């Protein structure tokens, strides 16, 4: 166990034992919300060959039950191998230390994405009434570091999800905070993903947007493009209604607008889309 995690635990009885996996339950304060399936399978394969190298940390509950303080990923992987027992350090941990210790353990093992870490800091502040300075001290971070993570939670949830899915980096997310307009943030986030923009390129583009020398992509009708007109014509015939194809001004992506006039018309269009070949052949 690392030094910071050990130091954060309050003194008390400690015991290393093999515990039935079925007697253990996860920590409802676990800051980690995503468990990558492929990485879990990789860890399970490693456990099958080498066993559980590092014990998990648990606390004793009533009725011979235990709750994970740190190590849920190892516990989940061990379950996949069919192991009956798992090595665990049993420690007396009070409720007000559970989130803090789980956060520290995940941070030091670098197993949290930026949004998960930001939410964990927020929960520490809100549930324990801590200041950002105190949180930073307890988890071994600089206060500015914690502040920067908390700022990520100002972004719309869909952009936060892009960070969680590793489609954009924390650097990209921090740069997007430089735009006050949420619609511009979203539009630029799509550009980052679609064009593979680096953080530096994103920062330069944001500066140009703020200075008024660049704009985020807008949607436009490609009336001059024969391929787009032909595609619209085919879709109109297939769906029996007005259809417009709109393209981003930068040429990357766009959207298709399908018009309907009432609930019955919407149901008809849905049925055509559900079975396009059947409807084409019958027409």
What positions carry a catalytic annotation? Answer: 72
Nearest CA to 190 among 157, 153, 158?
Answer: 158
Nearest to 220 by CA among 240, 200, 241, 244: 244
Q: Which residue has the tokens 């393209």?
A: 247
Closest CA to 116 of 164, 59, 74: 164
pLDDT of residue 168: 94
The phi, psi pair for 60, rounded to 5°, reads -80, 135
pLDDT at 27: 80
CA distance 216 to 56: 48
Q: What is the pLDDT of residue 116?
A: 87
User: Which pLDDT value is given to residue 223?
Assistant: 52
Q: Give the residue among 37, 64, 167 at the shortest CA–CA distance from 115.
A: 167
The pLDDT assigned to 9 comes to: 43
pLDDT of residue 249: 57
What is the pLDDT, as a whole number, of residue 109?
A: 64
Query: With the C-alpha atoms ordered 209, 214, 220, 222, is the resulting torsion angle positive or negative?
Result: negative
Which pTM value belongs to this model? 0.57
Beta strands in the chain (DSSP E): 14-20, 24-25, 56-60, 66-70, 85-91, 219-221, 243-248, 254-258
Question: CA–CA distance from 272 to each of 232, 265, 276 (Å)?
Answer: 16, 11, 5
**Residues sharing a CB contact under 8 Å with residue 151, sequence separation 6 or more, in sequence order:** 174, 177
Q: Tens-of-pLDDT digits for all 283 residues of the chain?
A: 343 344 444 444 568 889 999 999 988 776 666 677 877 888 899 999 888 888 988 988 877 899 988 888 899 899 999 899 999 999 888 877 877 777 777 676 666 789 988 988 888 888 788 899 998 888 888 899 999 999 999 999 999 999 988 899 999 999 999 998 999 999 999 988 888 889 998 998 898 888 876 555 555 555 557 777 788 888 888 888 888 887 665 555 667 888 888 888 888 888 888 876 555 444 4
Taking a C-beta distance cutoff of 8 angstroms, is the pair 194, 253 a contact? yes
pLDDT of res. 53: 85
């Amino acid at each position: 166990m690392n030094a910071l995690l050990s130091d954060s635990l309050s003194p008390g009885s400690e015991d290393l034992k093999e515990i039935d996996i079925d007697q253990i339950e996860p920590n409802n304060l676990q800051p980690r919300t995503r468990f990558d399936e492929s990485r879990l399978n990789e860890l399970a394969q490693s456990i099958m060959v080498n066993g559980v190298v590092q014990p998990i940390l648990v606390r004793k509950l009533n009725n011979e039950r235990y709750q994970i303080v740190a190590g849920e990923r190892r516990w989940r992987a061990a379950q996949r191998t069919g192991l009956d027992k798992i090595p665990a350090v049993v420690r007396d941990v009070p409720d007000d230390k559970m989130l803090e210790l789980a956060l520290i353990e995940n941070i030091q093992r670098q197993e949290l994405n930026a949004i998960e870490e930001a939410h964990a800091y927020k929960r520490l502040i809100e549930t324990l009434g801590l200041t950002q300075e105190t949180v930073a001290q307890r988890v071994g971070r600089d206060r500015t570091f914690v502040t920067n993570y908390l700022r990520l939670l100002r972004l719309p949830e869909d952009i936060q999800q892009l960070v969680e899915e590793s489609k954009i980096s924390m650097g990209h997310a921090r740069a997007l905070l430089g735009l006050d307009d949420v619609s511009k943030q979203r539009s630029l986030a799509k550009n980052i993903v679609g064009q593979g923009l680096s953080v530096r390129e994103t920062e330069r583009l944001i500066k140009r947007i703020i200075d008024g020398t660049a704009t985020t992509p807008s949607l436009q009708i490609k009336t001059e493009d024969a391929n787009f007109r032909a595609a619209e014509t085919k879709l109109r015939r297939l769906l029996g209604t007005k259809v417009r194809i709109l393209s981003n001004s930068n040429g990357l992506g766009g959207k298709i607008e399908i018009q309907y006039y009432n609930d019955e018309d919407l149901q008809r269009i849905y049925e055509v889309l559900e079975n396009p070949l059947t409807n084409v052949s019958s027409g």
